[in-house]
Amino acid sequence: MLNVALPKGRLGEKVYEMFEKAGFDCPSIRENSRKLIFENEKSSVRYFWVKPSDVPVYVERGAADIGVAGKDILLEYEPDVYELLDLDIGKCRMAVAAPEDFRDDPSKTLKVATKFSRIAREYYSSTGRDIDIIHLNGSIEIAPILGLSDVIVDIVETGVTLRENNLKVFETIFPISARLIANKSSFKFKNDLCEKVLKELAFQTGRDNK
């Protein structure tokens, strides 16, 4: 039985479709219910919906054998897992955004609001800029408007939310997409199943992973 951690939301649904096409179907997951765990013994698979940022935790700790997580989450938490495939979906970017009239004053410490403290710290340390990190868990966009921060470091997908809050992207830190990750121990003891998933998903994404 292969335990798969899926990120709740639209991305997770897309990922499930890919797994279904790969032969790991589980019809009960499409039923409208509040259940979080779904199993199909015939396909030797068990899915569970978890918060996207928790996927690497489930996989690293072995509660899930494989899972799908955004590159942003992998870079922020640096879990000790295998990153087997870029699924080329859930594409967006990590960016620095600020009010349109923002001008960086290098004589002052830059106040950065973000959910991604490690990424922000590493990015600014690579540029040598002195910063103060304000860790927030949501609605990051309002931090510069209320004067809580000068800039934000956050995920930008279409840019609509930024525009509606009079913010604009000043720099892109890195592109993001969803990645197939595996627990290191599970990869060894459930190797046939992991390799099958990898092979089928690589075929669907058109990536030659070998």
List of residues contacting other proteins (CB under 8 A): 60-62, 80-86, 183-189, 191, 207, 209-210
Compare residues 120 and 180 and give the one whose CB is closer to other proteins. 180
Beta-carbon count within 10 A of 93 CB:
18
The CB-of-57 to other proteins minimum distance in angstroms stands at 9
Distance of alpha carbon 97 from alpha carbon 156, whole angstroms: 9
The CB-of-203 to other proteins minimum distance in angstroms stands at 14
Cα–Cα nearest to 100, from 171, 169, 173, 172: 169
Compare residues 117 and 161 and give the one whose CB is closer to other proteins. 117
The CB-of-198 to other proteins minimum distance in angstroms stands at 9
Cα–Cα nearest to 136, from 127, 128, 126, 146: 146
Instruction: Please give the full DSSP string across 160-174, using - where no structure is assigned.
Output: HHHHHTTEEEEEEEE
Compare residues 87 and 162 and give the one whose CB is closer to other proteins. 87
The CB-of-152 to other proteins minimum distance in angstroms stands at 26
